[in-house]
Amino acid sequence: MKAKFNDIRKVKTHVKPPNGNFAIEVDSTKDVRWDHCREQFAAKFHENTVGFYFSHPNDMSEDIGEFLTKFEIIIGLKYNSGVSKTERNNVTWIEPSLFWRICYLRRSLLTLILRCAMNYRIQKDNFDDALFGDYKECLYVKETKSAFLRFMFGFTQFTGKSNVNPNSTVIKHGWREEFLRLDDFAVRRRLVSPEDVNREMSIVGIETLWN
């Protein structure tokens, strides 16, 4: 399934943002404000956020969209996120599905995934390499690989408590901070199968990351 793009969207910005930045459109008459720090952006990205802009190398909107679509198919999303090219060839508009928006930890993970998407090339179809290869964008994914793989296997329901302060301008506790030092036992209990999904027991045993 290829990524489906919505109509081209205008982005109001007089600067060329560095790769991997995020921006929320607060007022369509004013320039957007770019955030390089994911922790700062996390304080602006909440459940009611319709969408945001993501900056990347030139002419990579299709690669970004394809990568995100592939990831969402793997984890079994019923409704994929929306993607739109913009008038800037280094900026893509992302409309996260409700799946991402309803959980602060998923929102944090989504920003990591988008940064990894900058390593993806449709022609090479280097999906695994884009996530786990020797790129700086892959560092946090590789540091939390057990949790990341469990999430990709469909265990996407987070059972931990939210550490988000709604009045904070920076949210320092995200995906990496949650899973960085957890062993597999703890990971299994923080990430479980969604309540509406009946998953068969794996033959490799109940005490693995996949059960």
pLDDT tens for 39-70 read 889 889 999 999 999 999 999 999 999 999 99
In a domain, 204, yes or no: no
Q: Using one digit for the tens of pLDDT, what is the confidence trace for 93-104? A: 999 999 999 999
In a domain, 201, yes or no: no
Q: How far apart are CA 165 and CA 203, in angstroms?
A: 41
Q: How far apart are CA 84 and CA 52, in angstroms?
A: 10
Number of folded domains that form the chain: 1
In a domain, 57, yes or no: yes
Task: Note the pLDDT of residue 2.
Answer: 75
The yes-or-no verdict on residue 25 having pLDDT over 80 is yes
In a domain, 159, yes or no: yes
Q: How far apart are CA 157 and CA 159, in angstroms?
A: 6
Where in the sequence is the domain holding 52, given as residue range(s)? 5-192
At residue 201 the predicted structure's pLDDT band, cuts being 50, 70 and 90, is: very low
Task: Note the pLDDT of residue 202.
Answer: 42
In a domain, 209, yes or no: no
In a domain, 81, yes or no: yes
At residue 155 the predicted structure's pLDDT band, cuts being 50, 70 and 90, is: very high
pTM of the full predicted structure?
0.90
Strand partners, 54: 22, 92
In a domain, 200, yes or no: no
In a domain, 111, yes or no: yes
Q: Using one digit for the tens of pLDDT, what is the confidence trace for 65-121? A: 999 999 999 999 999 999 999 999 999 999 999 999 999 999 999 999 999 999 999
Q: What is the mean pLDDT of the chain?
A: 89
